Amino acid sequence: MPTSDPPIRPAATTACLRHGKGGLEVLLVRRSRKLVFYGSAWAFPGGRVDSDDASPGADLYDQPAGRNAAVRETHEETSITLTPETLVPLSHWTTPPGRPRRFSTWFFLARPTVERVVVDDGEIDKHWWALPADALVAQAQNEITLPPPTFITLLWLGGFNTVDAALSAAQAQPLERFVPRVATLGHVTVSLYQGDAGYATRDPKAIGPRHRLWMKPDGWNYERA
């Protein structure tokens, strides 16, 4: 009998930003190789929403609970202290079927007032204040692994030279929701997103607009037109 997919659990993550010598930098943390979900991958601090993150009777999947979880998880994993009201929502991602864990995840941006990082040495074993372009090059050279949502967020952040510009852009644009549908074309995995001509049918050959991530062995390519 086919194995059913795991339940979709609420989660939240935060891309902490600062201004470095080369411009905008973002905090990436390396997840422990022991973790089932993206072990050894580099991502933003974050994790599941707990019942204590929501007000009594509130929905754990709503943004207020996500804000509280993002603040708590960032502090637990990196020692950085944030406040819920200063977080800027950027996107929301739902893990596609077929993964060992599935999450409904809020992605926030934040500018910490203190940048000193102390990882928990449990779920997280290393950190890196990275220029988005440097992290993407490291992934292209197979030096690090990035989850697709992290990859696409880094591409977006790479379009800004300053923290102010990134935060202002996120505040001005509608929050985008990603509900990927994964397909294959030959030996290449393609993650299709809303707006792609092949999204409804999971057909990467469909003619029309493109909104997809090609996860080719020789390099990933985010296509949007």
Q: Per residue in 84-116, pLDDT tens?
A: 999 999 999 999 988 888 999 999 999 999 889
Q: Kindly state the greatest CA–CA separation across the chain.
A: 56
**CA dist 100 → 120, 131, 170 (Å):** 24, 30, 31
CB atoms within 10 A of CB 146: 21
User: Domains in the chain, start-ordered, CATH in brackets?
Assistant: 9-175 (3.90.79.10), 180-225 (no CATH)
Q: What is the pLDDT of residue 102?
A: 93
d(CA 33, CA 50): 23
Q: Are 139 and 130 in contact (CB under 8 A)?
A: no
d(CA 195, CA 104): 20
Question: To which residue do tokens 């864990």 refer?
Answer: 101
Global pTM value? 0.94
Q: Residue 200's pLDDT band (boundaries 50, 70, 90)?
A: very high
Phi, psi of 207 (to 5 degrees): -90, 130
d(CA 180, CA 148): 10
d(CA 26, CA 157): 8
Residue 99 DSSP SS3: coil
Instruction: Convert 67-96 to b/e letters by CB count within 10 Å (16 or more is b).
Output: bbbbbbbbeebbebebebeebbbbbbbebb
Q: Does position 133 have pLDDT exceeding 70, yes or no? A: yes
